[in-house]
Amino acid sequence: MGGSLVAPAHSLAALKLALASAAAKGAETELLDLGQLDIPLFSSERAKEVPADAQRMCDKVYEADALIWASPLYHGTVSGLFKNAVDWLELLSKQEPKYLTNKFVGLISTAGGTQGLQAINTMEYMVRALRGWTVPLVVPIARAWECFDQDMHLIDEGVKGQLAMLGEELVRCVEMVSREG
């Protein structure tokens, strides 16, 4: 789940690489490009008549065993688009188990400067508030404009390796819990 209203988006390109790594390890993946969904600003009043894309996003999140979240860093935190999508996860409060209970979440942020970890920290708090588990490896991509070429191909081999490890780690966490459960 990720993306940006800016196209092409570094965060979306990074998310696709991490998802490809998870798929290579046997995971069934689906990309929810938030920039392509028609999800209005969340309010408790609006939640009474749920837009189709908001409901579809929440259903996919609820059905998933694990998630990867990716957001650009905007002014020290996640983008408004990303925060709004997470706010719509309030629809999962009526599910059993609620919210992200028993789900692992991998975290990616992209930044124009060097402060990408701030968005990661915000997402980690969000995951905890929604009763999920973040995997230990996180990928804050600093100076993203230097890591990708103009066609959104990742040219930084170190970051490429981190994204691959994130996808693999997420699959490993789900498999570990499945064996124990």
Dump pLDDT digits (tens) for 120-170.
999 999 999 999 999 999 999 999 989 999 888 999 999 999 999 999 999
Query: What does the pLDDT average to over 26-46?
Result: 93
HSE-up of residue 86 (Cα within 13 Å, Cβ side): 26
Q: What is the pTM of this model?
A: 0.94
**Residue 20 belongs to a domain:** yes
Q: Which residue has the higher pLDDT, 4 or 105?
A: 105
Dmax (CA) for the chain in angstroms is: 46
pLDDT at 40 over 90: yes
- For residue 2, being part of any structural domain is answered with no
CA 131 to chain centroid: 15
CATH assignment of the domain containing 126: 3.40.50.360
Q: What is the reported pLDDT for 178?
A: 82
* Residues facing residue 106 across a β-bridge: 68
User: How many domains, in total, are found in the chain?
Assistant: 1
Is 4 a domain residue? Answer: no
Reported as a single tens digit per residue, the pLDDT across 69-78 is: 999 999 989 9
107 lies in which domain range? Answer: 10-180
Asked if 18 contacts 166 with a C-beta cutoff of 8 angstroms, the reply is yes
